[in-house]
Amino acid sequence: MKFKVRPALWISLIGLTGFAAQCVFSFALWERLTFEEIAESIRNPYWISGGDIFDGISSNIVYYKALDLYYRVGGFHLFAAKEFRLILSLLSISVVGTFLYRCVPFTIATAVAFLAWVLSPTLLYFGTHQASFGIDLQVFPVVGVIWLCSLRSTGLQSTVLLFLAAFLAILLAGMFPPGLFYLPALILTDVIVRSLKAANPSDLLKGACLRLSIIGGGILAGLAVPFLLVNRPQVLYFDPHTGAGLFRGGGKLSLNPFAFWDSVWRTFLDLFHTGNSYQFYLPHPEFGTILAAGGVLSAVLILLLVIRGFQPPRKSEAIGFLRQPNVQIGLFAGVLLMTFLVMGHLSPNLPGLRRSAGILVALYLFYFLAIDIGFSRSLTRNALFQRVLMVILLALPVSHVIQLTMNLQELPELSHDAYPNWLKTRPSARESLALLYTEVKEGRALTCEEVPAGCRYSAPFAAVQLTHRSQSEAGQVLDVYAEDPKTGTVKLVKRSLWEDYYWIH
């Protein structure tokens, strides 16, 4: 069932709707600035600007470097990272929309699934973060489109696109470790789909090895980038002080089945009840309304009807069956879902949806399949039952619009008291930083009263230096002084004071 109007118009309207929703959500939380956001969007980008790494936990090097480059081009302020995330949102929506327009028949399934995705409450919430939580939901669609284009191409173009997809997938993991979990589904599906074009077993093996070598090359190139960005790559590999490093952050793996189940349960609650885990607070989450939960249930029932009526293809028809786009989408979504269900929950500390947000990518692919199949063929003798299921399926984007308004009304009020002391000297955080910068520039030393809990000078030091870089000539460095809590004297602040843990992290 295809639209009679121009697909470009529908895609543009849906994309603009999604980006507008992201802007509304981001502006509602514009002045939220948690400890993690200060560390990830201010302190760590300043450290990486000099080729340094703060510690092994602060290992999302690619994200920090991207922010550093953005600050150099667009200037720094306390909430500039939210601007960066908005740009990522626009890029992601534009790339996916362009691919749908050029490469996919525009049907009701395409339109509804795309609309439901860009209005996803989880996507919108994580898009407000100045830390890299949930950034995979914005970046992986771009990686996925490049990979799909490689499957549709041949020769050198296919090779370059596949290499680029693998390279960007590793860079995504360098922004946020769960980005690694997309690779198994990408690799397995790519090898299977390409192998279907082989004329004989020897060509199949040769083709599989070639594709794997290209992917491997992209992965190795991507792995090299974070280590080339830092002066102390050994800390990025393993920091003995924190036991952390690249692709690990502060997470620890555990094979405790009870801890695993608790982690899965927390993710389930984040999706279906209330988003209330670490760095994820959403009163009305992804499937937290009757309409949204009904959409999931309808999709499950439709896919179960498909499975019930499935007739295994004959051996001679197997290749043709596997070449069907819906089969390949289902394969990719299935592997992706299982990967995130397992790998996203092996770390028991601070469980929640932020580590397993890739589950949503799989669920929305299944959602697309359910709509596409439901409209394209009869699945049951009871036509009315199938129509009811389809109506409930189509209600998911409507539910997301309702949830957007409800979440905006019920998000917690931003409290000025939540800021650290150095951002509370004036009515707003921006004014407070401006005052601090002026005073430090005039020679005043930072004091422990401004940064309690152990005199953590790293954040205000970084904020002042980034502000100075944005407001002065290139290459100028500001001398910052601070009261040394160990000696009581005033000391010139340098990044090296944190390398040997002389000052508290």
Return the pLDDT at 317: 65
Most confident of 118-132, 391-405, 436-450: 118-132
Q: Which amino acid is at 86?
A: L
How many Å apart are CA 477 and CA 474, to the nearest integer?
Answer: 9
Q: In this structure, what token pair is assigned to residue 223?
A: 């792995």
Q: In this structure, what token pair is assigned to residue 246?
A: 């690249």
How many Å apart are CA 249 and CA 36, to the nearest integer?
Answer: 12
Structural contact between residues 239 and 55, judged by C-beta atoms closer than 8 angstroms: yes
The predicted model gives 223-230 an average pLDDT of 96
The predicted model gives 200-223 an average pLDDT of 88
Write the pLDDT tens digit of every residue in 151-168: 888 889 999 999 999 999
The percent of residues above 90 in pLDDT, for the chain, comes to 61
Confidence grade of residue 416 (pLDDT, cut at 50, 70, 90): low
The predicted model gives 191-219 an average pLDDT of 83
State yes or no: pLDDT of 211 exceeds 80.
Answer: yes
User: Which positions ≥6 away from 171 have C-beta within 8 Å?
Assistant: 62, 222, 225
Structural contact between residues 124 and 21, judged by C-beta atoms closer than 8 angstroms: yes
How many Å apart are CA 138 and CA 124, to the nearest integer?
Answer: 10
Structural contact between residues 298 and 287, judged by C-beta atoms closer than 8 angstroms: no
Element spanning 282, H or E: strand 280-282
State yes or no: pLDDT of 420 exceeds 80.
Answer: yes
The predicted model gives 82-89 an average pLDDT of 98
CA distances from 397 to 83, 96, 289, 303 (A): 26, 18, 12, 19
Q: Tell me which long-range contacts 99-103 makes (C-beta under 8 A, separation of at least 24).
A: 99/145, 99/148, 99/149, 100/7, 100/11, 101/7, 101/8, 101/11, 103/148, 103/149, 103/152
Return the pLDDT at 475: 62
- Per the model's pLDDT, the better-predicted residue between 38 and 412 turns out to be 38
How many Å apart are CA 73 and CA 70, to the nearest integer?
Answer: 5
CA distances from 51 to 38, 68, 381, 384 (A): 19, 11, 65, 64
State yes or no: pLDDT of 473 exceeds 70.
Answer: no
The predicted model gives 463-474 an average pLDDT of 88
How many Å apart are CA 81 and CA 40, to the nearest integer?
Answer: 9
Confidence grade of residue 5 (pLDDT, cut at 50, 70, 90): low
Confidence grade of residue 485 (pLDDT, cut at 50, 70, 90): confident
Confidence grade of residue 493 (pLDDT, cut at 50, 70, 90): very high
CA distances from 313 to 54, 318, 319, 328, 331 (A): 56, 6, 9, 15, 16
State yes or no: pLDDT of 293 exceeds 70.
Answer: yes
- Per the model's pLDDT, the better-predicted residue between 192 and 362 turns out to be 362
How many Å apart are CA 386 and CA 305, to the nearest integer?
Answer: 10
The predicted model gives 409-431 an average pLDDT of 84
The predicted model gives 449-473 an average pLDDT of 86
Nearest residue to 63 via CA among 88, 40, 46: 40
How many Å apart are CA 486 and CA 464, to the nearest integer?
Answer: 23
Query: Poorest-confidence range of 202-206, 210-214, 292-296, 354-358?
Result: 202-206
Average predicted confidence (pLDDT) for the chain: 89
- Per the model's pLDDT, the better-predicted residue between 418 and 422 turns out to be 422
- Per the model's pLDDT, the better-predicted residue between 248 and 446 turns out to be 446
Provide the CA 133 distance to its chain's centre, in angstroms.
6
Structural contact between residues 61 and 226, judged by C-beta atoms closer than 8 angstroms: yes
Return the pLDDT at 208: 84
How crowded is residue 73: how many other Cβ atoms within 10 Å of its Cβ? 7
Write the pLDDT tens digit of every residue in 304-361: 888 887 777 776 666 676 777 888 899 999 999 999 999 888 887 888 999 999 999 9
pTM: 0.94
Domain residues of the chain, as ranges?
417-499
CA distances from 43 to 70, 72, 312 (A): 15, 15, 57
The predicted model gives 100-112 an average pLDDT of 88
State yes or no: pLDDT of 189 exceeds 70.
Answer: yes
Q: Which sign, positive or negative, has the C-alpha torsion 403, 409, 414, 415?
A: negative
